[in-house]
Amino acid sequence: MVFLQTAQTTELSRSFRISFTVLFYFNLQESIFLGDFNTNVLPSNIRCKFVRDLKSLCNLFSLSQLFHDFTTCRISETCTIIDLILVSDSHKISQSGVIDCCLSDHQIIYCTRKVTKDSVGKQNNAEIRSLKNYSKEAFQQQLLGCDWNPVLLNDDVNQAWNAFKCIFMSAIDNIAPLKLVRIKQRTEPWIYLDVLKCIKDDDSAFLNIRIKS
């Protein structure tokens, strides 16, 4: 989520492009941009250059504008829609709106992000290779017992590579075959076996200290 406030309308396109450049994985992540864009997006203002630039950027980055109600009202001027919320995944927004505010000529804008929950009883499975019974000597014997002629006698580098990969992976499958394991629900992707082992060792050390004390 990014809040933007452009002092001048001419800086809008530049601020957007800089923000999107900083977000290297922007197209792969859900994003929400909100704030005073200083560009009136009323339908009657569609021919304005800055409105066209904003719409072009929204189309380029697949952003949706949530508001069609006035967000700024001044007594001496007409009402405008310059406070915007742009979202990349509008189907994940449950509601949005404008709240009257007597403290400023700008109204309060808001949106509510849906809370997604996995279904109860859902199982996450993954294929892993267990190297618990791995032996360097046994793996070397597997490689020595393979027929490497399809690799050594092949003049085509692509076919030689495919043959090598097939032989090598066959040896690995014999030493450390793939097996399907069940992952605990809501386990973060960065939780590996090494991290779990460290957590277990830490808990064991803490328990020993409590017993000794």
Give me the pLDDT at residue 80, please: 81
Task: Quickly count: other Cβ atoms within 10 Å of residue 37's Cβ.
Answer: 25
SS3 category, 187: coil
Question: Would strands 32-36 and 108-113 be described as parallel, antiparallel, or unpaired?
Answer: unpaired
Per DSSP, 84 falls in state: E
pLDDT digits (tens, 9 = 90+) for 30-73: 788 888 877 788 877 777 877 887 787 788 777 888 877 676 76
Give me the pLDDT at residue 57, please: 77
At 24, the pLDDT band (50, 70, 90 cuts) reads very low
Domain annotation for the chain: domains and CATH numbers: 2-113 (3.60.10.10), 124-212 (no CATH)
At 28, the pLDDT band (50, 70, 90 cuts) reads low
